[in-house]
Amino acid sequence: MNNPFDMLHPTVMIRNAGFRGRNMINRNTIINGYGQMAKIGYGTTVGGDCIITGDIEIGNYCQFGWRISIRSGDHPLDKATVFSNSRLLNGVVGSGREGKISIGNDVWIGDSAIILKGVKIGNGVAIGAGAVVVKDVPDYSVVVGNPSRIIRKRFDSEIIALFNQLGWWDFTFEQIESLVETHELFTFSIMEDRERAVQVLTRCIMLKKHLFALGNLFTTPLMVVESFG
């Protein structure tokens, strides 16, 4: 297996997880799919002291802060006890209901945020520090609070549609650096120069279609890590 990590702190613990490559995982973080396979996209970085467990799928180029909790399960509320530890009757109580968590591409999650089971987070979302996300979050929303609430969209609907059509997160680091069109996209404020943004995004979409036709867009296999740490 090729090494999928740009950085993997020796204190990290991983069980039943797959990585698309160029990932960075900081100290004391736990990633465990348990009976599922936790999937982490290309280029995604995870801060320290995070817990990512269960049926989780995370897209490309996401950045997570520190002390973040993302868990697809919870404790049972309909049983005699919420104590689901295996020391009690060999775990006969079981856990609560599972709910897959899907996180899109280019998502930022601030320190100490909590993502609860069953939540779907769209592309380009920014989640503020300490937020508790209890329901789905649409593309390019900015979310804060407990329980979380949307305070605004990062861009207007036309710009969001262009970003989703482009899907720049399908490019590698090297392609973004080498291609003039994609490189330019990251060099200015979308909000301050909207007209330029529309033009650059449109050119990038045309370029991506061309590269796709040539078979030059990357596809990275899921590199499975059954056990580390």
130-139 pLDDT tens trace: 999 999 999 9
Handedness of CA 174, 186, 143, 121 (dihedral sign): negative
Question: What pLDDT is stored for residue 97 in this prediction?
Answer: 72
Q: What is the DSSP string of 76-87?
A: -SSSS-S---TT
Catalytic residue among 9, 75, 183, 210: 75
DSSP state of 154: S
Instruction: Report pLDDT for 214.
Output: 78
Please tell me the distance from the alpha carbon of residue 96 to that of residue 139, in angstroms, as a whole number.
29
In the beta sheet, which residues pair with residue 152? 142
Q: Residue 220 has what pLDDT? A: 77
- Chunked mean pLDDT (size 10), the chain, 229 residues: 88 97 97 94 98 97 98 77 72 74 98 97 98 98 98 98 96 90 93 97 94 76 91
User: For the chain, where do the domains classified as CATH 2.160.10.10 start and end?
Assistant: 5-154
Query: What was the pLDDT predicted at 83?
Result: 72
Hey, is 125 helix, strand or coil?
Answer: coil
CATH superfamily of 5-154: Hexapeptide repeat proteins (2.160.10.10)
The CA distances from residue 116 to 89, 110, 125, 176, in Å, are 27, 15, 16, 33
State pTM to two decimals: 0.93
**Catalytic site includes residue 75:** yes
